[in-house]
Chains A and B, each alone.
Chain A
Amino acid sequence: MIGTLAFASLVRHRARTLLAILGVAVSSAMLLDMVMLSSGMRESFRGLLLSQGFQLRLSPKGTLPFDTEATIRDADSLVATLRARPGVQAVSPVLGGQLHFPLASGAVTAAALGIEPAVQGDYELVAGRNPSSANEIVANDALLRAVGRSVGDTVRAAAGYDAQLRALSGERLLHIVGRVRFIYLALDQRAAALPITTLRAMNGSELDGRASVAMVRLRAGVDVERERAALERLLPRVTVISTNEALKQVDERLSYFRQLAVILGAVSLVVGFLLVTTLVTVSVNERIGEIAVMRAIGVRRWRIVAQIVLEAAAIMLVAAPLGLALGLVTARYLNSILARFPGLPERIDFFLFQPSAAWTALGLLAACGVLAGVYPSWRGASLPIATTMRQEAVG
Chain B
Amino acid sequence: MNVLLALLPILLTLHATSAQESSRAAEPRSRSIAIDSRLAADASLRIGDRVVIAAAPGEQGDTVVVSGIVQRRADPAEIARGEYRIRTHLGQLQSLLGYGDRVDRFAVATRGPSATTDAVARINAAAFGFRAHRSADVAVETSQTFAVVSRFHRAIGVITIVASAIFLLCIMLLKVDERRRDVAALRLMGISAPTIVRSVVLEASAIAVLGSLVGVGVGLAASWIVNRHYQGVYRTPLRFSLVTGDIVLLAVMLSLVLGIAAGWLAARRLVRTPPLALFGR
User: Is B a genuine binding partner of A?
Assistant: yes
What is the minimal beta-carbon distance from A71 to any residue of chain B, in angstroms?
A: 10
- Check if A23 sits within 8 Å of B170, measured CB to CB: yes
Q: B28-36, B45-53, B126-134, B251-259: which one contacts chain A? A: B126-134
Q: Which residue of B lies closest to A255 (CB)?
A: B233
- Check if A61 sits within 8 Å of B170, measured CB to CB: no
- Check if A62 sits within 8 Å of B129, measured CB to CB: no
Tell yes or no: A275 within 8 A of B by CB: yes
With the chains together, A62 CA to B54 CA distance in Å?
A: 13
Give the total of B residues in contact with A, Cβ under 8 Å. Answer: 37
Q: Pick the residue among A163, A237, A334 that contacts B127 (CB under 8 A).
A: A163
Binary interface profile of B, 163-183, with partner A (CB < 8 Å = 1, else 0)?
110110111011001100000
A153-190 at interface with B (beta carbon < 8 Å):
160-163, 166-167
With the chains together, A271 CA to B170 CA distance in Å?
A: 12
Tell yes or no: B10 within 8 A of A by CB: yes
Q: What residues of A have a CB within 8 angstroms of the CB of B217 in the complex?
A: none
- Check if A279 sits within 8 Å of B156, measured CB to CB: no
- Check if B152 sits within 8 Å of A334, measured CB to CB: yes
With the chains together, A13 CA to B269 CA distance in Å?
A: 12
Q: Which residue of B lies closest to A61 (CB)?
A: B57
Q: What residues of A have a CB within 8 angstroms of the CB of B160 in the complex?
A: 30, 264
What is the minimal beta-carbon distance from A277 to any residue of chain B, in angstroms?
A: 12
- Check if A19 sits within 8 Å of B10, measured CB to CB: no
What is the minimal beta-carbon distance from B79 to any residue of chain A, in angstroms?
A: 9
- Check if A282 sits within 8 Å of B159, measured CB to CB: no
Q: What residues of A have a CB within 8 angstroms of the CB of B58 in the complex?
A: 236-237
A134-154 at interface with B (beta carbon < 8 Å):
none
Tell yes or no: A268 within 8 A of B by CB: yes
Q: Pick the residue among B11, B129, B152, B164 that contacts A68 (CB under 8 A).
A: B11
Tell yes or no: A226 within 8 A of B by CB: no
Q: What residues of B have a CB within 8 angstroms of the CB of A20 in the complex?
A: 170
Q: What residues of A have a CB within 8 angstroms of the CB of B171 in the complex?
A: 278
Interface residue SS majority, chain A: helix
Q: Which residue of A lies closest to B153 (CB)?
A: A260
- Check if A279 sits within 8 Å of B152, measured CB to CB: no
- Check if A342 sits within 8 Å of B145, measured CB to CB: yes
Tell yes or no: B224 within 8 A of A by CB: no
Q: Which residue of B lies closest to A26 (CB)?
A: B163
Q: What residues of A have a CB within 8 angstroms of the CB of B233 in the complex?
A: 255
Tell yes or no: B113 within 8 A of A by CB: no
Q: Which residue of A lies closest to B222 (CB)?
A: A263
Q: What residues of A have a CB within 8 angstroms of the CB of B156 in the complex?
A: 264, 334
Q: Which residue of B lies closest to A62 (CB)?
A: B11
Say whether, besides A161-B128, A163-B128, A338 and B9 are in contact (CB < 8 Å).
no
Binary interface profile of B, 125-168, with partner A (CB < 8 Å = 1, else 0)?
00111100000000000001100100110011001101110110
- Check if B159 sits within 8 Å of A15, measured CB to CB: no
- Check if A23 sits within 8 Å of B148, measured CB to CB: no
Q: Which residue of B lies closest to A100 (CB)?
A: B129
What is the minimal beta-carbon distance from B124 to any residue of chain A, in angstroms?
A: 10
Q: What residues of B have a CB within 8 angstroms of the CB of A19 in the complex?
A: 166, 169-170, 173
Say whether, besides A69-B10, A264-B156, A341-B145, A16 and B56 are in contact (CB < 8 Å).
no
Q: What residues of B have a CB within 8 angstroms of the CB of A337 in the complex?
A: 148, 151-152, 155
What is the minimal beta-carbon distance from B162 to any residue of chain A, in angstroms?
A: 6
Q: Which residue of A lies closest to B97 (CB)?
A: A70
* Most chain A C-beta atoms within 10 Å of own C-beta, residue among B56, B144, B164, B166: B166
With the chains together, A377 CA to B56 CA distance in Å?
A: 70
Q: What residues of A have a CB within 8 angstroms of the CB of B277 in the complex?
A: none
Q: What residues of A have a CB within 8 angstroms of the CB of B167 in the complex?
A: 23, 271, 274-275
A234-249 at interface with B (beta carbon < 8 Å):
236-237, 249
- Check if A70 sits within 8 Å of B170, measured CB to CB: no
Binary interface profile of A, 247-282, with partner B (CB < 8 Å = 1, else 0)?
001001111100000001000100100110011001
Say whether, besides A19-B170, A63-B11, A282-B177, A253 and B163 are in contact (CB < 8 Å).
no
A44-68 at interface with B (beta carbon < 8 Å):
60-63, 67-68
Say whether, besides A19-B170, A275-B170, A68 and B56 are in contact (CB < 8 Å).
no
- Check if A26 sits within 8 Å of B159, measured CB to CB: yes
- Check if B13 sits within 8 Å of A62, measured CB to CB: yes
Tell yes or no: B83 within 8 A of A by CB: yes
- Check if A29 sits within 8 Å of B159, measured CB to CB: yes
Q: What residues of A have a CB within 8 angstroms of the CB of B83 in the complex?
A: 62-63, 67-68
What is the minimal beta-carbon distance from B240 to any residue of chain A, in angstroms?
A: 8
Tell yes or no: B80 within 8 A of A by CB: yes
What is the minimal beta-carbon distance from A345 to any residue of chain B, in angstroms?
A: 15
Tell yes or no: A340 within 8 A of B by CB: yes
With the chains together, A247 CA to B104 CA distance in Å?
A: 31
Q: Pick the residue among B130, B159, B166 that contacts A163 (CB under 8 A).
A: B130
Say whether, besides A268-B163, A337-B155, A340-B148, A278 and B129 are in contact (CB < 8 Å).
no
With the chains together, A67 CA to B78 CA distance in Å?
A: 13
What is the minimal beta-carbon distance from B78 to any residue of chain A, in angstroms?
A: 12
* Most chain A C-beta atoms within 10 Å of own C-beta, residue among B144, B148, B167: B167
Q: What residues of A have a CB within 8 angstroms of the CB of B170 in the complex?
A: 16, 19-20, 23, 275, 278-279
Q: Pick the residue among A23, A70, A338, A342 that contacts B163 (CB under 8 A).
A: A23
Known: A166-B129, A279-B174. 17 other contacts (CB 8 A): A16-B174, A19-B166, A19-B169, A23-B163, A26-B162, A61-B57, A70-B11, A161-B129, A162-B129, A278-B171, A330-B155, A337-B148, A338-B152, A340-B151, A341-B144, A341-B145, A342-B145
* Minimum-distance CB pairs A-B, first 10: A161-B129, A23-B166, A163-B129, A26-B163, A19-B170, A253-B80, A342-B144, A166-B128, A62-B11, A70-B11
What are 10 A-B pairs with beta-carbon distances under 8 A?
A: A19-B170, A19-B173, A26-B159, A33-B159, A62-B13, A271-B163, A279-B170, A282-B178, A334-B152, A337-B148
